[in-house]
């Protein structure tokens, strides 16, 4: 059975009809047309300029059903209030109920274990600051989720650290690395500096004997007297004059570490553990 109701008919008429067990599709529209056979309730505007207005209520917190009497899985409402305290605070928007709490409908629903950067300074909406705190300080549900992720004692401390993908052999959540390094000999190129003086140390010296006029100079005379011989005599010095020199110098460095920290903007890092 298919029913088409004009837009001017009051919805209260539907509420006055007796309850019957029947298979039907219902269309509420201000014009006639074909009803979508896959729909239970078909709402349509002939001019496509109307919307569906959901029930508007003021929620008090995500973990309380108020103003409903109890949590009802599948219930959808539009919340008009800003209320509650983190992580169970609520803000205006669409919410659905999963049977135990209200969950805001957003473009992206975070999953337990997701990481994000943010300028928030504290826990909020199920996101917990990664500051190395003990897991025992968390509420029951977030504590259980943190333990399931492998953090049974402490949450990781992301203070002054960058995130790195695992290599497959390291442990998730482990703090490692350094923000500076110092060069060692092993980091330098394998270059040998060497030098030497000329090894040809052998050389000669010449000298001139006393002149022929030995009398005038008050010395012995005679052509066979070597001290009065006027000829020049060449002699060689000992050839053991070959030698080398060594050279050393200081680089004058102070082993100052080299910083690895690039230009950055400071944020906080949060992990999603839900509420």
Q: Which residue range(s) make up the domain with 90?
A: 55-108
| Average of per-residue pLDDT across 202-228 | 53
Task: Name which of 37-46, 59-68, 126-135 the model is least confident about.
Answer: 37-46
Report the relative pairing of strands 93-97 and 41-44 from DSSP bridges: unpaired
- Is 48 in the same domain as 64? no
User: Higher-confidence residue: 272 or 251?
Assistant: 272
Residue 205 clears pLDDT 80, i.e. is over it:
no
When pLDDT is cut at 50, 70 and 90, the band that residue 124 belongs to is very high
- pLDDT above 70: percentage of residues in the chain: 72
Task: Name which of 69-73, 94-98, 102-106, 176-180 the model is least confident about.
Answer: 176-180
| Range among 108-117, 149-158, 230-239, 254-263 with highest mean pLDDT value | 149-158
- Is 42 in the same domain as 60? no
Residue 268 falls inside a structural domain? no
- Is 45 in the same domain as 60? no
Task: Name which of 67-76, 147-156, 168-177 the model is least confident about.
Answer: 168-177
Report the relative pairing of strands 102-104 and 115-118 from DSSP bridges: unpaired
Residue 40 falls inside a structural domain? yes
Report the relative pairing of strands 102-104 and 93-97 from DSSP bridges: antiparallel
Of 43, 73, 108, the domain-final residue: 108
Residue 17 clears pLDDT 60, i.e. is over it:
no
Residue 39 falls inside a structural domain? yes
Residue 232 falls inside a structural domain? no
For 67-82, b/e burial (b = at least 16 CB within 10 A) is eeeeeeeeeebebeee
| Average of per-residue pLDDT across 65-84 | 96
Alpha-carbon span 254 to 186, nearest angstrom: 17
- Is 46 in the same domain as 86? no
Residue 88 falls inside a structural domain? yes
- Is 4 in the same domain as 33? yes
Tokens found for residue 107: 């473009």
Number of domains in the chain: 2
Residue 83 falls inside a structural domain? yes
Give me the pLDDT at residue 1, please: 41
- pLDDT above 90: percentage of residues in the chain: 37
- Is 42 in the same domain as 62? no
Residue 43 falls inside a structural domain? yes
Residue 150 falls inside a structural domain? no
- Is 9 in the same domain as 47? yes
Alpha-carbon span 87 to 90, nearest angstrom: 9
For 116-129, b/e burial (b = at least 16 CB within 10 A) is eeeeeeebebbbbb
Model pLDDT for residues 171-204, shown as the tens digit of each residue: 887 877 888 888 888 888 887 777 666 656 566 6
């Amino acid at each position: 059975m298919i029913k088409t109701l004009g837009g001017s008919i009051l919805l209260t008429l539907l509420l006055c009809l007796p309850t019957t067990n029947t298979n039907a599709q219902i269309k509420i529209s201000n014009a006639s047309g074909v009803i979508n056979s896959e729909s239970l309730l078909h709402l349509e505007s002939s001019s496509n300029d109307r919307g569906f207005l959901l029930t508007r209520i003021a929620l008090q917190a995500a973990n309380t059903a108020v103003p409903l009497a109890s949590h009802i899985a599948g219930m959808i409402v539009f919340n008009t209030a800003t209320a509650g305290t983190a992580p169970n605070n609520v803000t205006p928007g669409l919410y659905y109920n999963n049977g135990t709490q209200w969950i805001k409908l957003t473009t992206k629903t975070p999953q337990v274990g997701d990481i994000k950067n943010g300028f928030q300074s504290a826990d909020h909406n199920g996101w917990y600051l990664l500051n190395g705190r003990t897991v025992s300080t968390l509420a029951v549900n977030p504590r259980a989720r943190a333990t399931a992720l492998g953090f049974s004692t402490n949450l990781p401390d992301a203070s002054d650290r960058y995130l790195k993908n695992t290599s497959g052999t390291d442990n998730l959540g482990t703090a490692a690395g350094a923000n500076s390094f110092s060069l060692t000999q092993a980091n330098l190129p394998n270059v040998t500096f060497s030098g030497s003086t000329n090894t040809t140390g052998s050389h000669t010296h010449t000298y001139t004997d006393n002149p022929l006029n030995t009398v005038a100079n008050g010395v012995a005379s005679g052509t066979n007297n070597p001290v009065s011989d006027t000829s020049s005599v060449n002699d060689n010095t000992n050839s053991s004059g070959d030698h080398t020199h060594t050279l050393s110098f200081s680089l004058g460095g102070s082993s100052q570490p080299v910083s690895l920290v690039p230009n950055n903007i400071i944020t906080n890092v949060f992990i999603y553990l839900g509420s």
